[in-house]
Structure 1
Amino acid sequence: MSRKRAAEPESGSSDSPERKRTCWGVLISQGSWADRSPLHDAASQGRLLVLRRLLAEGYHANINTIDHVTPLHEACLSGHVACVRALLSVGANVNAATIDGVTPLYNCCASGNVACMELLLQSGAHTHARHTHFPSPLHEACKRGNSQCVESLLSHGADPDYQLPHLGSPLYVSCLHRHTACSKMLLDRGASVNAGRGGESPLHAAARQDCADLVSVLLDHGAEAKLRDGNGRRPVDLAPPGGETHQLLVAFEGSPRSLCQLCRLRIRDMMGPTRIKLLPLLPLPSLLTRYLEHM
């Protein structure tokens, strides 16, 4: 039976044993897969004692389905930390990928479980996929607004400007889904404020979504308000007329940035994104450090 789906989970009672969940096109339906092992079920349901017994009886930690879904994938998607720890302790492949390129780390970002994510990262999980057409944990965390996951990935070396051809930059995805906290986190870590998807910038996405708070954050971090998308439109042209976002963009275009803003943007630009995170280590007055960190 095919398990490829593009649709959202089916409606119905959340307590139903046939409840289905989707993750990047892979359908997960407990008890319905012919090639699904008891170890998969135990990991998905968080049944630690059963999982340990099955491992002791000879089930391999990296046993997978026809789509290369492993028990570790299941444990991470369901957020069962103890099961994740148990599987890793017996050699589960932390970077195992399904036929769609989904990794356990990606599933952590989908479920928003930071504890599982930290275990994976400490065990050598790669923050980015091997191929740009594979799912990206950072993009998924930004899409879902899981800011703690974003912070964890960035602190373990994830590139805030990692581009996917079909999604664009993590910042663009975050703006597209109106997640201000994730966007600010990316920007504070040195993400390029104007890197979006195709000819559209993050500011275009935020303006179209009529998210004034997010637009304000982007402008404060140096977003170009006069950039035009593939259709020749500026962000102000995409904002709903008369709304708060539209008024904010009109007012910004009518007044220059302050000298304070210009100096901060120039210094951060000269430092580059790889050095921004080292700001707290510099022998600078705390007031200057906070200024450069946009605090």
Structure 2
Amino acid sequence: MSAVESRTVQAGLGIRPQAGPARTSGRGGPARRVGDVVWGLVAVAVFAMSAFPVYWMINTSFLPNSAIRGEDIAFFPTPDLFTMRNYVSVITDESRAAFTPAMWNSIWVTTLTVFLAMILGFLASLALTRFKFKGRRTFILLILVVQMLPGEAMFISLFRIIDSWHMLNTVIGLVLVYLAGVLPFTIWTLRGFVNGVPAELEEAAMIDGCTKAGAFWRVTFPLLAPGLVATGVFALIQAWNEFILALIIMSRPESMTLPIWLRTFQQANEATNWGAMMAGSTLVALPVVIFFLFVQGRMTGGLVSGAVKG
């Protein structure tokens, strides 16, 4: 007997058909919605706690020192308090080290460090991933060991090496020091990205007529671009914001990088100009923020590269 006939007979005998299992909503019940709201509020709270120091820095940079040191807290730069004098003081004040040379020193040091770290790290990661050679595992282990060493443990040795090469207070000397710290991280990170691209893709391209170099540049390299961008951003942030090594290598005022230049706002014989210091901090952070806005799409793709398999 078919299902239709069975329901017809049951209806004729006055028998009610049994109800099937209740359907559950795909969106979940009230408990799940409450959980989503709670986690959303937690995310907003975490974002607010992370963003508030940055906002306070920018807000303080537009306030006069009288308002900064006053008893009343100014959460917004109102028209009667708003001033650009702090930014003018940062650029034109001759009582401390100049801003422009420090900015160019930081740009040159960061650019050369990231450029060399990406080239050397990329080639090293390819060698570690695509080729089998004696001592490969030992080299990988040494990279991990170098990353575990704190930078403070190498201050004396790095200073003596750079001094013996007569490279103190030079951009090249600081680039070499930064490169020694950034390169192990770059190699280890890029090795993971290169390892995530199957070598069979290059072999298939070579079967179709590409040379080995052509298969790499046409097939493998575009897939590694997000990983290169993500690794480059981390290397840039590390080189741009580094303070301790620059303080040791760059001791002359004309050789300062921007993090060392910010230190000049705190003098032992005078009060700290907090407005100018916050304005300088905003200018120091601005290039990294602009660069991140340009590459955030590729960086996001690089960070999640390999998370989805298939």
TM-score, normalization by structure 1: 0.22
Which has the larger share of helix? 2
Which has the bigger relative contact order, CA under 8 A and spacing at least 6?
2
